[in-house]
Structure formats: structure tokens, C-alpha cells
Structure 1
Amino acid sequence: MQARFEGKSIIVTGAGSGIGRAVSRAFAGEGGRVVCADLTEGCEETAALIAADGGTALAIRIDAGSEPDVERMVALACEAHGGIDVVHANAGISGGIAGLFEGTPEQWTKILRVNLIGPFLAIKHAAPRIVERGGGAIVCTASVAGLRSGAGGVPYSASKAGVISLVQTSAQQLSGSNVRVNAVCPGLVETGMTKRAYDYAREKGVEDRIGRLNPLRRGGEPEEIARVVLFLASDEASYVNGQAIAVDGGLSSSHPVTRQEFGKTAA
């Protein structure tokens, strides 16, 4: 088994389920010492799973969009593990499938606070600690919805486009620091965020239609995203910086959608 992260100090936000849990377990499985951060008790469950597997993990409940909470998270990693080498800023919410005219400022504010301000705060407070260790990597979870239209609600898509821009500008701001910043852009993956759609498809007996718009004709698994996150965080990706990597079964090669005409209700 590879041990690319032996002894490395790693933070994962949104670690309580789905992609964040898969990534946390994958890092720990390769020797990483992981701080599992989440708003829910799921972070403690993830840390317990890692411990049961013989790995090293701590859990902390935080609001990813709260600066004091992010500062607490960074301090915990530094105190417990001597610094920070890798951050996966993964916490996010969908906010529902809101269109341009249905959304409210309150809804937009809530989504942007978690999905965009959260990664900003993680980079702001963790990057200096990574620099102190001689360099490392930050990976943010964006989405294929942030690449172009057709894969999510309007505020969610805008927030994830913002993450991609944040990654690009942060990579430039950190020039010469040996800290790389990249984004992973998942397509449809079975997580808590997509549970309703998966449950509905199974209830209706049309599970085989999930992911049918991508060339692989299936949805993804959290572990498939985790493998790309670990690659981007590892020395194997030492010359990859400021990039947004789609992991979507090929969906973003075209993003086929049924378009709704302005002023008309979708059939």
C-alpha cells in the first residue's frame, strides 16, 4: 500500500459524510494524521472509522463559513500535529435547485457563505501554516456546475464558479511559497447532498437512469473523487497548480441539458 502522506498533517472540512469522509479515510489510509471537521457529529463518526482502521484522526465541529471556527480548526491541527501540510476545503451545501428568478438574497448569502467564503477562510488561515512547513497543497471542492451551465441551481453554480476563480487567484497570490492550490470538480456523486435524487430514482425503479447524461452512463462514488483529491495533494501532482479538474464521467465535455425558455414553465 502507498503511504504518500506518512506523518503529514491534514485538514478535511465537510468530513462528516460523502466525499469528505471518503477523502479523510483515504488520507489516513496512506499515513496522514487527519483533522476531520464538520458542522455535524458525522466528523466524530469519521474519526472513529479511521481509528478503527488503525489510523490517526481528530474531530472538530465547525461552521466552515465562520472565521473564528476556521481559526480553531487550524489551531487544533497545529497543536496536535505540529503544523499543516495539506488542506481539503470540501464543505458545501446545495441550497436546492433554485433558478435565477426564484432565488432570494438570503438563499444566495447562505450558499456563498459556506461554499465560497468557507474555502477562502481555509486558504487564508491554513496557507501560512503550510508555508511554515516548507510547502504543501490545498485542494478545494468545486463542481462541474462551476464550469458551465446545466449541472446545478443558479446560486450553487455561481458559488462553485467562484471556488474555481478562488483557486486560480490563490495559486497566483501564493507564488514562490511552494503551496499549490487546485480544485476538484465532481459530477453526480452519491452523497448526502444527492440522496433525495438517488432515493427517488430507486423508489421509481429508474436507478439505471442516474448519470445517463455522461458518457460513462452512471453516477460516481465518493471514493472516485477521493483518489483525485489525494493525487492533487500528493507530490505526484508537484507541477499541477491553479487548476480545476473535472471528475464527472465526461459530463462536462458537453453538459447536455433541456433548456427552459425565458418566460415559459418547463414541461
Structure 2
Amino acid sequence: MSMFSLAGKTAIITGAASGIGRASAILFAQAGASVLACDRDAAVEKTAETIAAGGGKAHAFTMDAGSEADVKAAVAEAVAAFGRLDIAFANAGITGGLPEFFETTAETWADVLRVNLIGPFLAIKHAAPEIMKSSGGSIICTASVAGLRYGAGPVAYSASKAGVINLVQNACQSLVGTNVRVNAICPGLTETGMTKPLYDQVRAVGKEDRIGQLNPLQRGGEPEEIAAMALFLASPASSYVNGQAIPVDGGLSTSHPVSTATQKATKMALDALKDD
């Protein structure tokens, strides 16, 4: 059996109507998992239909990832539908818009923290006991490179994702001896429903080549690339990985963001070395 196989496993994935969540739900199902695809957007039904059309097992579940009642209901639904729970991917998130620091309202803070940070806490709190009944498994949370340092997102979003990184560290220590692993993924700029307005704006002015220019690969990410890391963390292949926050960002987090002018100067220096 492949180290990346999820055969016989059940997974809950939030934010599964689009982007990283949808790509992960499809990939997990292809790896053999039964998937409860969750989202507050009714389009999550299409994710489940796509999985079923490909021969996989999935149910759609409409929920608010920041509501404790909804999270408890999702866990119960997964167990009722598939008989067990092995994996929870707390992926749902919102940006709260792109306001400047002093324009960010307390209401925006409350909404962003409720979905982005309280949501993953609730997923861990209610999924972990069921996963323990299955002799262990994996919980994955979507953080962000914005949670690692300044410069990759608005203030409330960035702070919420920094909280997710600390949350998984606390959770892994709170689950000592249970064989339940908790890790976070820190995506860089990735084309999803959440980032669509940014991508649309850049494309509208003919500057698509600027997307992702600050990372060494000089491009944005695709949802499937983040889903591949989620599959690794969900699978036996990552059996000794616990309490970690893993960037998937084209190399952006290896350095602070730099200007295009700095990159051009670096490229000129490299070109000069090649000429020598």
C-alpha cells in the first residue's frame, strides 16, 4: 500500500466549495478517503458531485466553520455517514477585506478571528476525540505565510494565521500520547476564491506577470499544490511530523519581501557572473 494512501479513512474538509479545500477534497478521495466536504457556500455540493463522478465517496455538508454547533454537527455527520473519523482539515478562512491598519474595525477583527482561528480550534476540539477512537490520525489547519511575518496580508488576517501556527503547537502538546498529529500549512499567494479579486484586478490591467514576483519561483501557487501538502500531512507518509507549520510558498518565506528593483539588481549580478 502506498504511504500516501488514505484507503479506509474518513476526512472532514472545511472550505471545500472552492480553492484549496475543493482541490484537497478531490485529492483525498482519489487517495481512497471518504470525504465530508464542508462549506457555508452551497457550491460545496458540486465538489461532492465531482468526487462521486470520479468513483469516490463524498457527502456535502453546509456549515459555518466558526460555529461550534455546526462543527459538532459536521463531526457527527462524518461518523454517521462513514462510521469513523481519521482526518480533519480545518481549511476555511476569510481575509476580512484589505483595509489599512488603522481602518480595520473591531467588527472585522471579530469576524476574521471567529472563522480563521476559533474555527480551527473548534475543529481540533471536536474532531480529536473521534480521531482517537480510530487509533489516531491527522488534523491539518490552514495558516499562511502571512502568519510568519509582516508583508503578506492585512493585519487581522495575518494575526489570525499567526494564531493558527501557535494553536497547532499547543494542540499537539495537548494530545500527547493519543497518536493524533496536528500540523499547519502556510500557503503563499495561491489562486483561490479568496484571492480571486486580486488576480482579476491584476489581469484586468495586463500585469499578470507580476503575480508571485517576490518569491524565487516568481509565480503564484495553484490549489492542487497546497492540496498535495495536505495529502502528505494526512497520510502515513508524515507519521513523524507533528506540531509543525510548513510553508508552501515558492520560497517567499525564506526572506522578507524585496522590491522588483532589488531582484533586478540581483539578476544583473548573476548574469555578470555567468559572463565571467
Per the TM alignment, residue 83 of structure 1 is displaced from its structure 2 partner at its CA by: 1.6
Which residue identity is paired with 1:53? G
Per the TM alignment, residue 257 of structure 1 is displaced from its structure 2 partner at its CA by: 5.3
1:239 matched to which residue of 2? 240
1:133 matched to which residue of 2? 134
Asked if structure 2 preserves the Cα contact closer than 8 Å seen for 1:168 and 1:242, the reply is yes
Q: For the aligned residues, what is the CA RMSD?
A: 1.2
Which residue identity is paired with 2:53? A
Q: State which drifts further: 249-258 or 83-92.
A: 249-258
Structure 1 CA distance, aligned partners of 2:101 and 2:202? 26
Gaps of 5+ in 1: 259-267
Structure 2 CA distance, aligned partners of 1:144 and 1:93? 15
Structure 2 CA distance, aligned partners of 1:195 and 1:57? 26
Which residue identity is paired with 1:129? E
Residue-by-residue CA offset, 1:142-199 (whole Å, 9 max, x unaligned): 0000011100000000000000000000000000000000000000000011111111
Structure 1 CA distance, aligned partners of 2:178 and 2:100? 40
2:270 matched to which residue of 1? none
2:113 matched to which residue of 1? 112
Structure 1 CA distance, aligned partners of 2:174 and 2:198? 39
Structure 2 CA distance, aligned partners of 1:236 and 1:79? 27
Per the TM alignment, residue 97 of structure 1 is displaced from its structure 2 partner at its CA by: 1.7
Structure 1 CA distance, aligned partners of 2:132 and 2:190? 33
Asked if structure 2 preserves the Cα contact closer than 8 Å seen for 1:43 and 1:61, the reply is yes
1:67 matched to which residue of 2? 68
Structure 1 CA distance, aligned partners of 2:99 and 2:233? 31
2:82 matched to which residue of 1? 81
Per the TM alignment, residue 99 of structure 1 is displaced from its structure 2 partner at its CA by: 2.9
Structure 2 CA distance, aligned partners of 1:43 and 1:70? 16
Residue-by-residue CA offset, 1:122-149 (whole Å, 9 max, x unaligned): 0000000000110000000000000111
Structure 2 CA distance, aligned partners of 1:26 and 1:119? 21
Gaps of 5+ in 2: 260-276
Note if 1:94 corresponds to 2:95. yes
Per the TM alignment, residue 202 of structure 1 is displaced from its structure 2 partner at its CA by: 1.4
Per the TM alignment, residue 100 of structure 1 is displaced from its structure 2 partner at its CA by: 2.4
Which residue identity is paired with 2:64? D
State the identity %.
63
2:157 matched to which residue of 1? 156
Per the TM alignment, residue 73 of structure 1 is displaced from its structure 2 partner at its CA by: 0.2
Which residue identity is paired with 1:248? D
Per the TM alignment, residue 82 of structure 1 is displaced from its structure 2 partner at its CA by: 1.1
Per the TM alignment, residue 98 of structure 1 is displaced from its structure 2 partner at its CA by: 2.5
Matches within 5 A, 1:1-267: 4-256=5-257
Structure 1 CA distance, aligned partners of 2:258 and 2:79? 45
Structure 1 stretches of at least 4 aligned residues deviating more than 3 Å after TM superposition: none
- If the length of structure 1 is used for normalisation, what is the TM-score? 0.95
Which residue identity is paired with 1:126? A
Structure 2 CA distance, aligned partners of 1:239 and 1:99? 40
Per the TM alignment, residue 49 of structure 1 is displaced from its structure 2 partner at its CA by: 0.5
Asked if structure 2 preserves the Cα contact closer than 8 Å seen for 1:139 and 1:182, the reply is yes
Asked if structure 2 preserves the Cα contact closer than 8 Å seen for 1:151 and 1:255, the reply is no
Asked if structure 2 preserves the Cα contact closer than 8 Å seen for 1:150 and 1:257, the reply is no
Per the TM alignment, residue 255 of structure 1 is displaced from its structure 2 partner at its CA by: 2.7
Local SS of the residue matching 2:226:
helix
Find the structure with the greater CA-based Rg: 2
Residue-by-residue CA offset, 1:204-225 (whole Å, 9 max, x unaligned): 1111110000000000000000
Which residue identity is paired with 1:202? R
Local SS of the residue matching 1:255:
coil
Structure 1 CA distance, aligned partners of 2:182 and 2:11? 14
